[in-house]
Amino acid sequence: MQALLEVSHLVVDIPGRRGTLRAIDGISFSIAPGEILGVVGESGAGKSLTGAAIIGLLEPPGRVASGEILLEGKRIDNLSAHEMQHIRGKRIGAIFQDPLTSLNPLFTVGKQLTETIRAHLPVSEREARQRAIGLLEDTGIPGAAQRIDHYPHQFSGGMRQRVVIALALAAEPTLIVADEPTTALDVSIQAQIIQLLKRLCHERGAAVMLITHDMGVIAETCDRVAVMYAGRIVEIGPVHEVIHAPAHPYTAGLMESIPDMSVERERLNQIDGAMPRLNAIPSGCAYHPRCPRVFERCQVERPTLIAAGATQAACWLHDAEHGKAVA
C-alpha cells in the first residue's frame, strides 16, 4: 500500500546571525492511510518543527533545506504559499496546543467553521452551516445548534479544543497533524479529547501525526511511534515494542524516568545532563555524551536507523559488526 505521507531525509535549517542552526537533521518516516503515528521527544527535539514543516507553516527564517515531503505521492515541500494554502485545511488538518490562540476571538465559531468549509468545498452558505452544526455535534458539544453562534471566549478549554478539532476536520482531510493537542487541558478533559480524536479519525479514515511529550497519551492512542532527540529520529517502531522493549538507550532511559502508576520505584532513573543545544550537537551519535553504553564508534560516526528486533534504532549497538565484536 502506498504511504499517505512520506518524509525523506528532511533537513530544516534556521539561519541566524551566528551561522545556520540545523534544527532537523535528515529525518525519514512515513504514515499509512488511517494510521496514527506518535512523535515523542523532549522540548527542543524538533518534533513541533517537523509538524510545521509538513503543514508548510515553518516560521521564517526557518526553511526546508533539503529532503522531500510527499503527500499521496506528490511533493508538497516545494509548493508556493498559495498552492500550499489549498492543501492545508483541505488535505492536511492542523490542531495546535492552545485552543484559544487557534481560534479568532472576533468571529463566532460558526463563522469560522463555515468559512473553512466553503473555502475548500463547493457548498452553499446554508449547507455549510448545517455541516458545521453536524461537526460540532460529532465532537460532542451539547446544544450545537445554539452554541454555533457563540464566540470562542464563551467556551471552556475542553470545549474550545473540540471546536478546533471540528475545524481541522471541516474539509475532510486525509491527514491530521496534531501538535500537543491535550497538553493545555486537565487530565479528565484530556482523556475525553484523546478518545474523540481517535474515534473521529478512525471513522473518517484520516491518518494522524500526533506530536506530544506524554508517553501515556502515545501508548493509548498510537499505532507506531517515532522518538526524536536533537533533531533526529533515534527510534521508530510499533508502540508496544518501543515502550516495552526499547532498542535505543535514550528511549530506554526516557521510559524509566517517567513515574508510572503501575510500578513503584524508590528512585526514578535519571538521564544526567541535558539535551545539547543546536549550536553544539556532539559528533557522531548526538546522545553519546549522556549514553551509559557508549563506545568509541559512537563518538566519531553517526548511526543511521538500523533494524533492532521489531523496531528501528539509530544506535551502533544494533549494528551487525558490533554484535560480532562482542560475541
Partner 1 sequence: MSAQPLVRVDDLAKTFDVSPPWLNRVLERKPRALLHAVDGVSFEIERGKTMALVGESGCGKSTVARLLVGLYAPTRGSVAFDGQDVHAALAQPSGRALRRHIQMIFQDPYASLNPRWTVEAIVGEPLVEHAIVSERAALSTRVDELLRSVGLSGQDKTKYPHQFSGGQRQRISIARALATAPEFLVCDEPTSALDVSVQAQVLNIMKDLQRERGLTYLFISHNLAVVRHVSDSVGVMYLGRLVEVADKRALFAQPRHPYTRMLLDAIPQMHATGRARTPVQGEVPNPLSPPTGCAFHPRCPHANARCSAERPRLLEIDGVRVACHAVEERRI
The residue ranges that bind partner 1 (CB under 8 A) are: 42-43, 156, 158-159, 186-192, 194-195, 213-217, 219-221, 239-240, 243-244, 253-255, 257-265, 267-272, 274
Q: Minimum CB separation from partner 1 for residue 269, in Å?
A: 7
Taking Cα atoms as reference points, which of 222, 242, 235, 213 lies closest to residue 31?
A: 222
Check if the beta carbon of residue 256 is closer than 8 Å to that of residue 246: no
SS3 211: strand
Q: Minimum CB separation from partner 1 for residue 195, in Å?
A: 5
Q: Minimum CB separation from partner 1 for residue 165, in Å?
A: 15
Q: Count other Cβ atoms within 10 Å, centred on residue 310.
A: 12
SS3 196: helix
Cell matching residue 321: 559488526
Q: Minimum CB separation from partner 1 for residue 104, in Å?
A: 23
Q: Minimum CB separation from partner 1 for residue 149, in Å?
A: 20
Q: Minimum CB separation from partner 1 for residue 187, in Å?
A: 5
Q: Can you tell me the distance from the alpha carbon of 97 to that of 248, in angstroms, rounded to the nearest whole number?
A: 28
Nearest to partner 1 of 243, 294 (CB atom): 243
Nearest to partner 1 of 80, 262 (CB atom): 262
Check if the beta carbon of residue 220 is closer than 8 Å to that of residue 38: no
Taking Cα atoms as reference points, which of 291, 299, 296 lies closest to residue 251?
A: 291
Q: How many CA atoms lie within 13 A of 71 on its CB side?
A: 23
Nearest to partner 1 of 66, 257 (CB atom): 257
Q: Minimum CB separation from partner 1 for residue 255, in Å?
A: 7
Nearest to partner 1 of 55, 208 (CB atom): 208
Taking Cα atoms as reference points, which of 109, 127, 139 lies closest to residue 204?
A: 139
Q: Can you tell me the distance from the alpha carbon of 318 to that of 247, in angstroms, rounded to the nearest whole number?
A: 8
Q: Minimum CB separation from partner 1 for residue 159, in Å?
A: 8
Nearest to partner 1 of 128, 185 (CB atom): 185
Let me know if 139 is exposed, middle or buried by CB neighbors in 10 A (0-12, 13-18, 19+): buried
Nearest to partner 1 of 77, 179 (CB atom): 179
Taking Cα atoms as reference points, which of 245, 244, 243, 236 lies closest to residue 214?
A: 243
| In the block, residue with C-alpha cell 566519531 | 300
Nearest to partner 1 of 105, 259 (CB atom): 259
Nearest to partner 1 of 268, 325 (CB atom): 268
Nearest to partner 1 of 234, 271 (CB atom): 271
Strands 207-212 and 175-179: parallel
Q: Minimum CB separation from partner 1 for residue 260, in Å?
A: 6
Strands 74-75 and 63-71: antiparallel
Cell matching residue 157: 478549554
